[in-house]
Amino acid sequence: MKTTDNSGDVRLSGISKTYGSFTAVHPLDLTVPQGSFFALLGASGCGKTTTLRMIAGLEEPTSGTVHLGDQDVTALPPYKRPVNTVFQSYALFPHLDIFENVAFGLRRRGIKSVKKQVEEMLELVQLGEQARKKPHQLSGGQQQRVAVARALINHPKVLLLDEPLGALDLKLRRQMQLELKRIQTEVGITFVHVTHDQEEAMTMADTVAVMNAGRVEQLGSPADLYENPQTTFVANFLGTSNLIETEVDTKSGDDIVLKAGGGKLLLPSERCAAPATAGGRVLIGVRPEKISITHADDAGTITEGRNRITGKIADASFIGVSTQYVIDTPVCDEFAVYAQNVERDGRLVPGADVVLHWNPAHTFGLDAAQDIDAGIEEEAV
Amino acid sequence: MPVVNWLKKNLVVIAGLVTLAFLLLPNVVVTVFSFNKPKGRFNYEWQEFSTDAWKDPCGVADMCGSLSLSLQIALWATVGATVLGTMIAFALVRYRFRARGVVNSLIFLPMAMPEVVMAASLLTLFLNLGAQLGFWTILIAHIMFCLSFVVVAVKARVMSMDPRLEEAARDLYAGPVQTFVRVTLPIAAPGIAAGALLAFALSFDDFIITNFNAGSTVTFPMFVWGSAQRGTPVQINVVGTAMFLIAVVLVLASMAIGNRRGKRKA
């Protein structure tokens, strides 16, 4: 059924939004397939919420069109679109009880007998007992579920979620992430989820679009984005990356040989997002958990063919399951390494000389013309 | 020192009761003297208990006519000032337009103007326009001076409203009219009601502006003022007491409804 029915597709073509001289969203093409869980990820002010509001009809695009399935809805007001939104901070109607909040959409469409549907929906979000309470009498998590129920009861083609978990504490947020994912699987509706929390986006979504300054930087599955970032922004915004500036030496077979800090590093050609010509510059990156750390005295035990960097431990923090090291190396003075605490080497303390090594296949290459720190500050928000 | 200790413990209660007494004593006097049977024309000294005035509230010539006129004016002034004031309040809070700041301040200026000066100036204005003094000039004047108070009351409420609520309504298939009727209005209602009550009270007992601009029309406050020169009928107290009782009943009723709702929801 999912393959033939495309009425829940969201298609944005050349959509943009400018406020005066400020461009919130640059012309953007995006297709969200029916039934998928799609996340728009980015720091605040990157245009993700504006994009969502244009799908909802709450914001008029400056240019471009919005299609739901085959229907062009660009000119339709929000109350005529088969789309519902879960708002940031929920926007529950304070003067109505939970039952009436959930029944609101049905009643506005002139449906008379709403009781059964509302009760079923409240059961789905486990709030059957609370039907006659007012929103302010519920906890944050309960209010969030009411907001989801109020939107879902209308069987929208697409459900839009605007930072729906932002107001919850960490533990509840994790719980609601699983809950939302469960509901989405159950109802099979297209979900478009806006968030600034990269972990949330990766946990929940099938496809993530990373937005930065009104543009989509990269689009793909969470694993693809994490393993193969195409820009420094994505590399830094999703998780942590160690980025090194290198010079292209030669190509040998499928690998590019790079010079960095006197040593040589290998990068598989197909993992390089930038043109690599001999003598040119390339940024290479590697995730901290892909790196092994070995004391300098045992350097001989490291297998041949791995990328190596020598350095000195600047800092080590014990996190329980892992230890996070900061290594001072000639190529980068704050090289992050996460090591699982399987067999801890007692010599790996601050000040110790170490060799860092990793499988070259885990290296990715980026265009050296970019800001190496893009996306770092934003992640701290 | 048990007395001192007792005083210390109950000081807040005592202060509260004294203030309350200070506040309500005039009302008590009005009520008590509505049961008086005065000798002569002035109802200023207690003589004996009687329900004569209560049995025949309209027994004084012209009084009920002026009362009815005052109620009508108050009602229409409330409607006019509330509708206009609510729209102004929404405009000031929701929209960014040129001179918004100026309008925001200008709205409150009539409150600062001494009423008697305003009254005289209004009369000048009406006379120059060639308007016939009477019901309509009174009504126009009342709507004018009630407006600022309604704007203040409604604005406070609208400012605390989350505009996302209306977006949520629109998102949930409510058109512009439905959104206003089902969401905006109910949420703003307490502020609008407060503004309306204030407008009614201000209009009903206004004397100064009314007296200047009434021509030969006589409203209830003007009637009381006029009769005070010649003698005060007990019926005036009856009307005062009745108004007070109606207000008390309304307040109690709204509190009871609020309580019942609270209990049902809990």
Q: Which of A98, A132, A99, A146 is nearest to B266 (CA)?
A: A132
Residues A157 and A183 reside in one and the same domain: yes
Backbone angles phi, psi at B173, to 5 degrees: 70, 15
Beta-carbon separation of A58 and B167 below 8 A: yes
B63-94 helix and B135-159 helix, angle to the nearest 10 degrees: 40
Q: Which residues of B touch A94 (CB under 8 A)?
A: 165, 187
Residues of chain B with a CB closer than 8 angstroms to some CB in chain A: 162, 164-165, 167-175, 178, 182-183, 186-187, 264-266
CATH number for B145:
1.10.3720.10
- Is B128 a domain residue? yes
Residue-wise pLDDT for B222-241, tens only, equals 998 988 888 888 888 999 99
Domain boundary among A232, A262, A280: A232
To probe the interface with A, which of B96, B161, B173 has the most A CB atoms within 10 Å?
B173
- Is B262 a domain residue? no
A85 close to B (CB below 8 A): yes
Of the pLDDT bands very low, low, confident and very high (cuts 50, 70, 90), residue B108 is: confident
- E-only strand ranges, chain B: none
Nearest residue on chain B to A78, judged by CA atoms? B171
Residues A217 and A246 reside in one and the same domain: no
Based on the structure, what is the number of domains in chain B?
A: 1
Beta-carbon separation of B167 and A87 below 8 A: yes
Nearest residue on chain A to B163, judged by CA atoms? A91
A87 close to B (CB below 8 A): yes
Residues A24 and A165 reside in one and the same domain: yes
Percent pLDDT > 70 in chain B is: 98
**Averaged pLDDT of chain B:** 90
Q: Which residue has the tokens 């793909």?
A: A220
What is the pLDDT at residue B262? 58
Domain boundary among A198, A232, A266: A232
What is the pLDDT at residue B266? 44
Q: Which of A56, A53, A67 is nearest to A13 (CA)?
A: A67
Based on the structure, what is the number of domains in chain A?
A: 2
R_g of chain A computed on alpha carbons: 25
Q: How far is B172 from chain A (nearest CA, A)?
A: 5
Q: How far is B248 from chain A (nearest CA, A)?
A: 26
Residues A214 and A355 reside in one and the same domain: no
Chain-centroid distance of CA A262 in Å reads 36
List the domain range (segments joined by +) for residue A31: 10-232
**Residues paired with A192 in a beta bridge:** A38, A160
Q: Which residue has the tokens 């009761």?
A: B17
- Is B112 a domain residue? yes
Q: Which residues of B touch A87 (CB under 8 A)?
A: 164, 167-168
Q: Which of A227, A205, A206, A209 is nearest to A218 (CA)?
A: A209
To probe the interface with B, which of A79, A98, A144, A146 has the most B CB atoms within 10 Å?
A79
- Is B246 a domain residue? no
Q: Which residues of A touch B190 (CB under 8 A)?
A: none
Q: Assess contact for A59 and A199: CB atoms under 8 A.
A: no
Q: Which residues of A touch B165 (CB under 8 A)?
A: 91, 93-94
Residue-wise pLDDT for B21-70, tens only, equals 999 999 999 999 999 888 877 888 888 888 888 888 888 888 889 999 99
Q: Assess contact for B38 and B48: CB atoms under 8 A.
A: no
User: What 3 state SS string does chain A have?
Assistant: CCCCCCCCCEEEEEEEEEECCEEEEEEEEEEECCCCEEEEECCCCCCHHHHHHHHHCCCCCCEEEEEECCEECCCCCHHHCCEEEEECCECCCCCCCHHHHHHHHHHHCCCCCCHHHHHHHHHHCCCHHHCCCCHHHCCHHHHHHHHHHHHHCCCCCEEEEECCCCCCCHHHHHHHHHHHHHHHHHHCCEEEEEECCHHHHHHHCCEEEEEECCEEEEEECHHHHHHCCCCHHHHHHCCCCEEEEEEEEEEECCEEEEEECCEEEEEEHHHECCCCCCCCEEEEEECHHHCEEEEHHHHHHCCCCCEEEEEEEEEEEECCCEEEEEEECCCCCCEEEEEECCCCCCCCCCCCEEEEEECHHHCEEEECCCCCCCCHHHHCC
Of the pLDDT bands very low, low, confident and very high (cuts 50, 70, 90), residue B264 is: low
Domain boundary among A185, A208, A232: A232
Beta-carbon separation of A79 and B167 below 8 A: no
C-alpha distances in Å from residue A282, one per residue of A74, A238, A371: 42, 20, 12
Beta-carbon separation of B171 and A58 below 8 A: yes
- Is B232 a domain residue? no
The model's pTM is 0.79
- pLDDT score of B73 more than 80: yes
- Is B185 a domain residue? yes
Beta-carbon separation of B167 and A91 below 8 A: yes
Q: Coil, strand or helix: which one is B49?
A: strand
Residues A246 and A351 reside in one and the same domain: yes
A155 close to B (CB below 8 A): no
| Residue ranges in chain A whose pLDDT is less than 50 | 1-3, 378-381
- Is A5 a domain residue? no
Q: Which of A222, A190, A187, A217 is nearest to A205 (CA)?
A: A222
What is the pLDDT at residue B265? 47
Of the pLDDT bands very low, low, confident and very high (cuts 50, 70, 90), residue B173 is: very high
Nearest residue on chain A to B183, judged by CA atoms? A93
Q: Assess contact for B57 and B120: CB atoms under 8 A.
A: no
Residues A221 and A327 reside in one and the same domain: no
Residues A198 and A301 reside in one and the same domain: no
A157 close to B (CB below 8 A): no
Choose the closest CB to B265 out of A80, A105, A134.
A134
Nearest residue on chain B to A59, judged by CA atoms? B167
Beta-carbon separation of B171 and A78 below 8 A: yes
Tokens read off for B217: 């029309």
What is the pLDDT at residue B43? 83
d(CA A144, CA A86): 8
Kindly state the DSSP code that residue B36 receives in the 8-state scheme: B
- Is A1 a domain residue? no
ipTM for this prediction: 0.80
- Is A136 a domain residue? yes
**Residues paired with A208 in a beta bridge:** A39, A220
Q: Assess contact for A93 and A135: CB atoms under 8 A.
A: yes
Beta-carbon separation of B165 and A109 below 8 A: no
List the domain range (segments joined by +) for residue B152: 64-218
